[in-house]
Amino acid sequence: MALNPIPDLLDALRESLVGVTDGQVAQYIPELAHAEPGWFGLALATLDGHVYASGDADRPFTLQSVSKPFVYALALTDRGLDEVVSRVGLEPSGEAFNATRLEPGTGRPPNPMVNAGAILTTSLVDDGFPRILAGLEAFAGRVLGVDERAYESEVETGDRNRAIAYLMRTAGSLRADAEQSVRRYFRQCAIQVTARDLAVMSATLANGGVNPVTGVQVVTRDTASHVLTVMATCGMYDFAGEWLLRVGLPAKSGVSGGITGALPAQLGIGLFSPPLDERGTSVRGIAACEELSARFGLHLMRPPARTASAVYLTENGDRLLVRGLQGDFGFAAAEALTRDVAGHATQGRLLVLDLDRVGRLHPVAVHLLGTLIERLAAYGMTTVVADVNRRGLLPQAHREFPGLDAARHWCDASLLRA
C-alpha cells in the first residue's frame, strides 16, 4: 500500500458513486449514444503538477461544451478583454445553453458559456481551428486528436446552432460566415480529451495560466482569472447559482459527460461519466464535485482559514524529521504536507509535527494526516506531535508533547535507545 492516502480517497469516492444510475447518455448523435453508462473517471491536478487519477480517467471522449472556457481564454489572448467583451457579454442569462436571446442594440450573446457566445467566441480566435487545437493542447499539455465522426454527426444535426449563428449574423455581432463558424465550433467540440486532461486544463487556469505539468505559460494570469470568473457565474447555465452555492468551484460541463473545475490557487479537477441529467450535465460528475467540495473543503467562499495555512520545515536530520505547521489546514495544504513527508519517509525515522501555530484542521486534513501517520507506523516510522495547548488534534500520533522542546527531547532519547 502506498503511503499517500489520496488515491485511495479518490477511489473510495468514485466507488461510492458507481451505484448512481440516474441520467441518460446523450442520444442525438451516434458517437455520444454509444458511450457506456458505467464509464466513470476522475482526476485531480495540483499546482505543482502532480495528477491523481481514478477509474476511467484515461478514456478519451469529446470535449463538447467543456471547450468553451478554454477557447474563450484563447480569444481573450488574441483580442484583449475590451474587444472580446464588446462582442460577447459577461452576464449569466438564467437561460438554457441553447437559448437564442441576444442583447438588444448590440446583438451580443449574453456570455461565452452558452452556445451563442461560444460560437461567437470561436470566431474571434485568430487563424482558425489549428490555433484552437494548439491552444487546447497547451492547456492539456499533450497532443490531442479530433473525433471526425462526431464532428460529421454534429454538422448533420446542428440546426439549432445554425439558427443561432444566423441570428447573430442578422444582429451584426457575428461577422464571420455563419456555416463556417458553426463548423469550426463543432470541430472544437469534437476534440478528444480524458478526465486527466480536464484536471490539468483547469489546474492551468487555477495556476495563473501556467500549465503545472509542463510549466508553459499558456495564457496570462489576468486571462486565467477572467476565465475562472466567467466559469463561476455562467459555466453551469441556469444552474450556476445553485452550483456555486453547493459546490463552490468555477466549472464547465459538457454533453459527453465531462466536467472541469478549478479552485483558484489550489487545484484542478476533471470528471467523466456519460449519463446526464435533464440539464445535460453528468449526474455522477455533479455528485462527485459535491462530494469533493464537501469532503476536501474545496469551496471558493469557504477558505479553510483566515490566516492561510502553510507548512514549513524547521529541521531535517538523518533520523529526525521535523515539520512545523502554521495556520488552518485544508485539503491543499494537507496534501502538500502528506506528499512531502511521504517523500522523506525512511524506516526507523521519527517524525515530529509541531502544531503550536496550527489554528484549525479541516476534517479532510485530520483524515489525511491521520491516515499518513497510521501508514507510517505500519511502515516502521513513528510520529509524535508537539502542541503547547495539548489539543489532541491528531490522535493517531504515537504521543503528544506540550511543546517542540519536549518532543525533541523524547526523540533524542528514543533515537539513542534504538
Residues annotated as binding site for substrate?
Answer: 65, 115, 154, 161, 185, 237, 255
Q: Which is nearer to a copy of itself, 30 or 363 (CB)?
A: 363
Site for a copy of itself contains 368 (CB under 8 A): yes
Q: Which is nearer to a copy of itself, 195 or 361 (CB)?
A: 361
Catalytic residue among 51, 54, 65, 193: 65
Catalytic residue among 51, 66, 67, 68: 68
Q: Return the residue of 181, 338, 384, 397 that touches a copy of itself, per CB under 8 A.
A: 338
- Tell me how far, at minimum, the Cβ of 371 lies from a copy of itself, in Å: 4
Q: Is the distance from CB of 206 to CB of 263 less than 8 angstroms?
A: yes
Q: Has 185 been annotated as catalytic?
A: yes
Looking at residue 237, what DSSP letter applies? G
Q: Which among 171, 162, 175, 176 has a CA at the least distance from the CA of 104? A: 171
Helix (H, G, I), strand (E, B) or coil at 41: strand
Site for a copy of itself contains 176 (CB under 8 A): no
Q: Has 52 been annotated as catalytic?
A: no
Residue type, 290: E
d(CA 168, CA 196): 35
d(CA 264, CA 207): 7
Residue with cell 523524547: 410
Restricted to residues 34-93, the positions that interact with a copy of itself (CB under 8 A) are: 46-48, 50, 85, 89-93
Site for a copy of itself contains 160 (CB under 8 A): yes
Q: Has 379 been annotated as catalytic?
A: no
d(CA 270, CA 254): 12
Q: Return the residue of 111, 153, 188, 211 that touches a copy of itself, per CB under 8 A.
A: 111
- Tell me how far, at minimum, the Cβ of 130 lies from a copy of itself, in Å: 27
Sign of CA dihedral 14, 16, 18, 24: negative
Sign of CA dihedral 199, 204, 210, 216: positive
Binding mask 297-336 for a copy of itself (x = CB under 8 A): xxxxxxxxxxxxxx-x-------------xxxxxxxx-xx
State the maximum Cα–Cα separation within the chain, in Å, rounded to a whole number.
85
- Tell me how far, at minimum, the Cβ of 22 lies from a copy of itself, in Å: 20
- Tell me how far, at minimum, the Cβ of 302 lies from a copy of itself, in Å: 4
Site for a copy of itself contains 186 (CB under 8 A): no
Q: Has 151 been annotated as catalytic?
A: no
Q: Return the residue of 106, 214, 220, 225 that touches a copy of itself, per CB under 8 A.
A: 225
Restricted to residues 118-157, the positions that interact with a copy of itself (CB under 8 A) are: none
d(CA 318, CA 212): 31
d(CA 240, CA 291): 17
Site for a copy of itself contains 377 (CB under 8 A): no
Site for a copy of itself contains 234 (CB under 8 A): yes
Q: Has 153 been annotated as catalytic?
A: no
Catalytic residue among 51, 213, 218, 255: 255
Instruction: State the DSSP string of 314-365.
Output: EEE-SSEEEEEEEEEE-HHHHHHHHHHHHHT--TT-EEEEEEEEEEEE-HHH
Exposure string (b/e) for 167-185, b if CB count within 10 Å is 16 or more? Answer: bbbebebbebebeebbbbb
**Catalytic sites, residue numbers:** 65, 68, 185, 237, 255
